[in-house]
Amino acid sequence: MIHWEDEGILLSARPFGENDLIAQVLTKEHGRHAGLVRGGQSRTKRATFEPGNRLHVRWKGRLAEHLGNYDAEVLDNISGRLFDEPGRLAALLSAAAICEQAVPERDHHPVFYEGFLALLAHLESEFWGEVYVRWELAQLSALGFGIDLSGCAGGGDNDQLAYISPKSGRAVSLAAGEPYRDRLFTLPLFLLGKGNGGGDEIAQGLKISGHFIERHLFHPHDRSLPSVRDRLLENFL
Amino acid sequence: MAKSEIDRLAQLLSRLPGLGPRSARRVVLHLMKKRESLMLPLAKAMMEAASSISNCTICGNLDSENPCGICQHPNRDDSKICVVEDVGDLWALERSGAFKGRYHVLGGTLSALDGRGPAQLNINGLLDRASADQVQEIILALSATVDGQTTVHYLSECLAGHEVEVSKLAHGVPVGGSLDYLDDGTLTAALKSRRSTR
């Protein structure tokens, strides 16, 4: 029998049969890992398996390839604290859905876990919208689809970056992008480290990250972005 | 009865909640032993229920009448509509006897992870009912889960344009509950929703 203990963040828990759940947990040492939770739909266990909760998990299975069984204890019940915050709750669900789609299964990449943990830590802060956009862009970057803000793709002034190309994901300067401005994304200033970003800038950031997440992570699997992400965007419009 | 018919009956019964193949066989044996007193009345009751029970076109409740008994009841409060996830929740509220208004069965909650969106829920029916003059309050009695609360926020936004008060159930310490055994989320919600004792 193989067993391990780890720390993780619950991404999803889907009912299996009458009493059990299949939980997807983003773990610190074992990557995104699924497991069966016996009696997970019971009154005593259901609250443990809410998306975003930080858990101490114990997994055991006869072979490493098996689905195996999870047992868990809550370390931090984050979702419960966000129940009255529609925008932050939408951000939490959207992040969980994107992680479930994007993070490779059973592949140890601490960057995803640490990134999600940092996002959760900031979801209750004032600048959660900005942090969320940065988190999505960091996910893209970790998977090899990051946007490039290091210089102007059109050979323009690197100090005057104002747009992002929806094709290449590279920044474009104000002068070089002017003739094509209708076809380019406006670059929010907070992504250049200028200011904290108001609602308009965060909405613009979400449009940019959403475009690339949909194109690189969801479209290849014939899926569209989760609807909760649209509601998150509406929160800033 | 031929063996194949017993197998078929056991197979169908094993699909019921709480029954597996072994317990389904025990139920079949029990029914066979009480053929006159239980099996035939049960079969008749099931046939009648299957032909007469349907979803209420107003609220979505299950009843043999359409509109259902609750929607037709003359003494219930027309000014309040309680929105529940499914019929089981409606029955739970009715058992408590605490609510004397009308109901609306949503048919589930929004779920980003399972791809269940507003189109899969009975939201348009609720918005139509909220437009009626006599409705003054919509009570969102949905689960204290991430999906349940996401649905509450979505419905609140949808109902923002209607002239009705929108409320939701409180979260907190259950009756008979000890603080020692409560999870952090419930404790936090209970503290947030505290009220003056005076």
User: For residue range B15-39, what is the model confidence (pLDDT) as tens digits?
Assistant: 998 898 999 999 999 999 999 999 9
Q: Which residues of B touch A228 (CB under 8 A)?
A: 110, 112, 150
Q: Where are the alpha helices (DSSP H) in B36-138?
A: 40-52, 69-72, 87-96, 123-130
Q: Tell me if B153 and A77 make a contact (CB, 8 A cut-off).
A: no
Q: Which residues of A touch B182 (CB under 8 A)?
A: none
Q: What is the least distance, in Å, from the CA of A93 to any CA of chain B?
A: 7
- pTM of the shown model: 0.85
Q: Tell me if B192 and A84 make a contact (CB, 8 A cut-off).
A: yes
In B158-184, which positions are buried (b, 16+ CB within 10 angstroms) versus exposed (e)?
Answer: bbeebebebebeebbeeeeeeeeebbb
Q: Is the pLDDT of residue B1 over 60?
A: no
Q: Which residues of B touch A52 (CB under 8 A)?
A: 146
Percentage of residues of chain B with pLDDT beyond 90 = 71
Q: Tell me if A92 and B185 make a contact (CB, 8 A cut-off).
A: no
- Provide mean pLDDT across the span B54-58: 94
| Mean pLDDT score across all residues of chain A | 91
Q: Which of B174, B176, B188, B194 is nearest to A74 (CA)?
A: B188
User: For residue range B144-162, what is the model confidence (pLDDT) as tens digits?
Assistant: 899 999 999 999 999 998 9
Q: Can you give the pLDDT at residue A96? A: 94
Handedness of CA B10, B14, B17, B23 (dihedral sign): positive
Q: Tell me if B184 and A80 make a contact (CB, 8 A cut-off).
A: yes
Q: Can you give the pLDDT at residue B106? A: 95
| Cβ-contact A172, A152 below 8 angstroms | yes
Q: Tell me if A47 and B185 make a contact (CB, 8 A cut-off).
A: yes
Q: Is the pLDDT of residue B52 over 60?
A: yes
Percentage of residues of chain A with pLDDT beyond 70 = 100
Q: Tell me if A77 and B183 make a contact (CB, 8 A cut-off).
A: yes
Q: Tell me if B112 and A84 make a contact (CB, 8 A cut-off).
A: no
Which of the four pLDDT bands, split at 50, 70 and 90, describes residue B2? low
Q: Tell me if B113 and A93 make a contact (CB, 8 A cut-off).
A: yes
Q: Tell me if A79 and B113 make a contact (CB, 8 A cut-off).
A: no
Q: Can you give the pLDDT at residue A120? A: 94
Q: Can you give the pLDDT at residue A109? A: 83
Greater model confidence, A183 or A237: A183
| Cβ-contact A55, A65 below 8 angstroms | no
Which of the four pLDDT bands, split at 50, 70 and 90, describes residue B164? very high
Q: Can you give the pLDDT at residue A56? A: 96
Q: Is the pLDDT of residue A157 over 80?
A: no
- B88 touching chain A per CB within 8 A: no
Q: Is the pLDDT of residue B110 over 70?
A: yes
* Least CB–CB distance from A228: residue in B145, B150, B184: B150
User: For residue range A86-125, what is the model confidence (pLDDT) as tens digits?
Assistant: 999 999 999 999 999 889 999 888 899 999 999 999 999 9
Question: In chain A, whose CA is at the least distance from the CA of B168?
Answer: A84
Q: Which residues of B touch A237 (CB under 8 A)?
A: none
Greater model confidence, A136 or A157: A136
Q: Tell me if B185 and A52 make a contact (CB, 8 A cut-off).
A: no
Q: Is the pLDDT of residue B112 over 80?
A: no
- A21 touching chain B per CB within 8 A: no
- B177 touching chain A per CB within 8 A: no
Q: Can you give the pLDDT at residue A43? A: 82
Give the residue from B113, B114, B152 with the most A CB atoms within 10 Å of its CB, the best one to mutate: B113
Q: Can you give the pLDDT at residue A47? A: 85
Q: Report how far residue A77's alpha carbon sits from residue A84's, in angstroms, rounded to the nearest whole number.
A: 14
Instruction: Provide the CB-side half-sphere exposure for A131 (13 A, CA).
Output: 18
Q: Is the pLDDT of residue B54 over 80?
A: yes
User: For residue range B117-142, what is the model confidence (pLDDT) as tens digits?
Assistant: 888 999 999 999 999 889 999 999 99
Interface A–B counts its CB contacts (< 8 A) at: 74
Q: Can you give the pLDDT at residue A7? A: 95
Q: Report how far residue B167's alpha carbon sits from residue A126's, in angstroms, rounded to the nearest whole number.
A: 26
- A77 touching chain B per CB within 8 A: yes
> How far lies B148's CA from each of A50, A130, B106, in Å?
11, 26, 11
User: For residue range A14-38, what is the model confidence (pLDDT) as tens digits?
Assistant: 999 889 999 999 999 999 999 999 9
Q: Is the pLDDT of residue A153 over 60?
A: yes
Q: What is the least distance, in Å, from the CA of B180 to any CA of chain A?
A: 14
Q: Tell me if B117 and A227 make a contact (CB, 8 A cut-off).
A: yes
| Mean pLDDT score across all residues of chain B | 91
- Provide mean pLDDT across the span A169-197: 87
Q: Is the pLDDT of residue B197 over 90?
A: no
Instruction: ipTM value, please give it.
Output: 0.80
- Provide mean pLDDT across the span A141-167: 87
Instruction: Provide the CB-side half-sphere exposure for A100 (13 A, CA).
Output: 25
Of A39-53, A208-222, B18-32, B172-186, the range with the lowest mean pLDDT is: B172-186
